[in-house]
Chain A
Amino acid sequence: MKADPATLGPLREALAAADYSEARLAERFGIQGALSPDERERPFHLRVLGDARPLSTLVRLFLLALDVGRDEAAAALAPASLESLAAGGLLELGDGGRVCSTLALHPVADLYVASDWEREDRAPERRDHVLGPSAPSRSLVALTPREPVRSALDVGTGCGLQALETARHAPRVVAADVNPRALELTRLNAVLNGLENVETREGSLFDPVEGERFDLVVCNPPYVVSPETAYVFRDSGLPGDSFCEALVRRVPRFLSADGGIGLALVSWVHCTAEDWSAPLRRWVDGSGCDALLIRRHSLDPLAYAAAWNRILALEPDAYEAALARWLAYYEELRVELIGWGAVVLRRGGRGAVTAVDVPGEPESGAGAHVSRLLDAHRLADGALLDTRLALPDDHRIEQALALRNGQATVEQSVLRLVGGLPVEARLDLQALQLVAELDAGRTAREVLSDPEAGLPALRQLVELGLLVPAG
């Protein structure tokens, strides 16, 4: 594959002209997300696509892995030429005038991201397979604060999605991966999207950037806790969660001393007897960073093994064998629960740690919420009572009211953030009254009859970003 601007620039033009975007595909064809749709639904999708050129041609070529006629391809890809795309390794021009793509090409927000082909019912063939923009990597994109930074590092860049997103608010981005094929794709994707500030470096994890520091470090590592070593993108080959632990412990050394932020998706093992955050708290203890620990969910070993091997469900024997192998492994390690989520570190704090349960998918505003939750650490406990606090602009209060006998009775009130981290807190009438009074400019000490007793609930709202310093 060649990352040649003279070839990929015109391709970008063609994709943009056809409005090859997530929104357009969802609207026109009901195709959700940019990942390849269920392969088995192909006969249905083909009939839905019909003959709506050039969009249907692009979907066939780049999402469904189908070949199309040479003339049809040429028309859809102009001004890019088939010959130059073939010379660059993206297209194969077959006998009989058919054209197919060697890579999948996913529209993601306003980016185009090439990756290896994958099917939801079949495990990838090559060990150095480069995964496309997966749901976890999209949630890492959403979680990352997008304030301008001087430099950024994407560790284990894969198809380069994090690096591309970061390149829009950092003048210099280093994308590192142990898999040279991943770096090839990252370079191709950078050029395809007209981004010139992404530098690729080959090596394991942080090895290629030893001694350097960055304002922002993002990492979607092979965090899966499993006995497997089949794929670079999934399997670290290290026992239990020791890979994630070592990774998290290593991040601070690469963060700028003046507030550098690091985010890593992680899986960790925890027991039913302790809080889910206990192991993560040990990992970040003494890091010299403030930490935000985000949990999406915890699964028991069987549910976790089933979730990661569902791709095999159409081959009962292989599925059966994988479940047996994974469960034996967990048994040996005495694993009770496996958590999944993210660790966010910010250097230069006083070692404050917040743990938040976030069961839903983060939306695009989550990065700003992550910053806000880190900032909340700066509000010392005692000062909270005298600090002017307000509801953030992106709050919503949702109430269920029963209408009886001319009365509207509030049955439940929930305060939540919208458009980012899906965090929420139930409010009783007293708490609702309190936030309204705070929002109107009074302090908690002025409003609460017993301020000290009200402090824990108040602190929780601040830690969740549901109350912010006024101003």
Chain B
Amino acid sequence: MTELRVDDEAAIVELRRGLDAAGYTVEGIQRALGLDGPFARETAEIPYYLRLLPPGEAISALVKLFLLDVPVPRAEAEEALAVDRAERLGLVEIEADDVRGLVDLVPREELLVASDRFRDDRLPERPDHVYGPTPPTRALASLTVRRPVSRALDLGTGSGTQAILAAAHAERVVGTDVNPRALRFARFNAVANGVSNLDLREGDLFEPVEGERFDLVVCNPPYLVAPSEGYAFRDSGVRGDQFCAELVRRVPEHLTEGGLAHLLVSWTQADEPRRWVEGGGCDAILLRYLTFSPLGHAAQWNRHLLGDPDAYGAALDRWTEWYREQGIGEIVWGAIVLRKRAGRNWFWAGSPPGERVVSADRHVLRILATQDFLATAPELLEERLAAAPDALLALAFHLERRGGAVDRALLRLDGGLGFEVGVDERTIELLRALDGTRALREVAGDAALPVVRRLLELGFVVPA
């Protein structure tokens, strides 16, 4: 199998320029297919997609080569890209008169990300398979605080998405991976996305950055809690939760004072990650996104076997049996945000309704600020507080003969982690009264304190 070539950077830059010119972007592909939302490929629907594509246009040839894995006649491919150059880069192979794509090239927001081919109906063949951006990739990216920093680290960078995103607001980014093929893809993607401040290093975990500290660490680790089946991108060889524990324990020694770390994690006991951060000198926000039963988790991770009932059933049994042996009753998936800070540290856990793709970094910063504020143990009643400027109240009511009645009142934030809380009419009145000019004492008494504290914690109310 041909491997990606990354020594000819000029060729990669030219390739990207050609793809942009052909409209090979999120919006361009969406438009070409006539879709209402971003394109999400399902292997079984390829005959349908092929008919959605406008015939004879460059973008159609590119979608076939790099998203659908459908061969394209050489003449048609030449209209869309310089085939010889793409072949030299290891992106396509030429068979007789047909050109066949060898990698996925997936536009993600402004980025273009090359990775190994992905199919929803089977697991990758090679153990060192390199994944493209997945929903967890986006969950982590949306959580990451995007403030200018000096040094950033992407631990287990894979095809490099997090490192490339960090390169936009860090002077220097180090990306590490134990899989040399991943580093090759990351290198390719860095060049294709015009990133020149990324330093890629091969090695296990923190090995390549021994003794170094960073202002920002991001990590999408092999967190899967499952019997090992031998994939570098998924199985670390130790249980996913234990791997996460080790990772979280070791991150603080690589953070500068005030530095932030964002990690996706799995765990199997209620709020167990609280123990992982103890003594690490970090404040921590734990976000619980999804909780699975053993059987539900096994089904979720074996959907590629749906076409083969015997193999699917056998996998469900193998996994659930393994959970039983390990004494695992549930698997939680979420994220942890660490901030290195001298002094007495705090820990806060919240349960957002599933992972979200909208940018949540402002919300994360707000939670950090609010927890700092609460940790100073203020007399809340003496504080000036205000409803958050991006707080929205979703109200459903009906009119009756005399007045009206509220059926439902929910507080939400415009963007952010997606917390929702039901509020009663007294709380709504209180929120209107919290305009930041008066101490809480002037508008509420002791009885309101638990509600105010909860609204503060979730980010609906902020210190003025």
* Interface status of B56 (Cβ within 8 A of chain A): no
Q: Is the CB of B391 within 8 A of A397?
A: no
Chain B, 289-325, CB within 8 A of any chain A CB: 295, 299, 306-307, 309, 312-313, 316-317, 320
Q: Is B13 in contact with chain A by the CB < 8 A criterion? A: no
Using A396-B397, A403-B393, A403-B431 as known contacts, say yes or no to A316 and B46 having CB atoms under 8 A apart.
yes
B-chain residues with CB within 8 Å of residue A300 when the two chains form the complex = 34
The reply to whether the CB of B396 lies closer than 8 angstroms to some CB of chain A is yes
Given known contacts A302-B51, A316-B44, A44 and B396 CB-to-CB distance under 8 angstroms: no
Interface residues on A, range: 35 or more
Minimum CB–CB distance for B416 against chain A, Å: 15
A379-404 vs B, Cβ < 8 Å mask (1 yes, 0 no): 00000000000010001111111111
Q: Name the A residues within 8 Å of B437 (CB-CB).
A: 406
Give Cα distance in the complex from A405 to B388, angstroms: 9
Find out whether the CB atom of B316 lies under 8 angstroms from the CB atom of A43: yes
Q: How far is the CA of A435 from the CA of B306 in the complex (A)?
A: 53
Chain A neighbourhood of B81, CB < 8 A: none
Are B52 and A44 in touch, CB under 8 angstroms? no
Q: Looking at the complex, which one of B45, B317, B432 makes contact with A403 (CB distance below 8 Å)?
A: B432
Docked Cα-Cα span, A107 to B106, in Å, equals: 44
Interface pair A323/B307, CB less than 8 Å apart: no
**Is B11 interfacial (CB-CB < 8 Å)?**
no
User: Taking CB as reference atom, which chain B residue is nearest A401?
Assistant: B393
A404, B389: Cβ atoms under 8 Å? yes
Q: Is B392 an interface residue (CB 8 A)?
A: yes
| Across-interface contacts of A453 in B (CB, < 8 A) | none
Q: Is the CB of A43 within 8 A of B313?
A: yes
Which residue in chain A gives the minimum CB-CB distance to B412?
A400
Contact with B along A308-323 (1 / 0, CB 8 A): 0000011010011001
Residues on the B chain within 8 Å of A399, using CB: 393-397
Q: Report B27-43 CB contacts with A as 1/0, cut-off 8 Å.
A: 00000001000000000
Please tell me the size bucket of the interface on B. 35 or more
A436 within 8 A of B: yes
Q: Is the beta-carbon distance between A316 and B396 smaller than 8 angstroms?
A: no
Interface residues of A in 47-81 (CB under 8 A from B): 47-48
Q: When chains A and B are docked, how far (Å) is the Cα of A44 from the Cα of B44?
A: 21
With contacts A319-B47, A323-B51 taken as known, whether A43 is within 8 angstroms of B434 at the C-beta atoms is: no
For B45, B47, B306, B407, the residue with the greatest tally of chain A CB atoms inside 10 Å of its CB is: B47
Closest partner residue, chain B, to A38 (CB atom): B306
Residues of A within 8 A of B48 (CB): 302, 306, 313, 319, 323
**Known contacts A320-B47, A397-B396, A403-B391: does B309 contact A40 (CB below 8 Å)?**
yes
Let me know if A316 and B399 touch, CB within 8 A: no
Q: Tell me the bound Cα distance from A163 to B119 in angstroms.
A: 46
Of B47, B398, B432, which is within 8 A of A397 by CB?
A: B398
**CB-CB < 8 A to A316: which residues of B?**
44, 46-47
Residues of B near A436 (CB, < 8 A) are 399
CB of B226 to closest CB in A, whole Å: 16
Q: Could you tell me the distance between the alpha carbons of A399 and B433 in the complex, rounded to whole angstroms?
A: 19
Given A302-B48, A316-B44, do A400 and B306 touch, yes or no (CB 8 Å)?
Answer: no
Cβ-based interface call for A357 (8 A)? no
B433–A391 CB distance below 8 A: no
| Contacts known (A41-B306, A302-B52, A306-B48); A406 close to B395, Cβ less than 8 A | no
Q: Is the CB of B307 within 8 A of A314?
A: yes
Is the CB–CB distance between B312 and A407 below 8 Å? Answer: no
Sample (19) of A-B pairs whose CB atoms are under 8 Å apart: A38-B306, A40-B306, A41-B306, A43-B313, A46-B313, A47-B316, A47-B317, A319-B44, A396-B397, A396-B407, A397-B404, A398-B396, A399-B397, A400-B392, A400-B394, A403-B392, A405-B436, A406-B435, A406-B437
Additional A-B contact list (7), CB under 8 Å, known A42-B309, A44-B295, A395-B398 = A300-B34, A398-B396, A401-B394, A402-B391, A403-B432, A406-B432, A408-B428
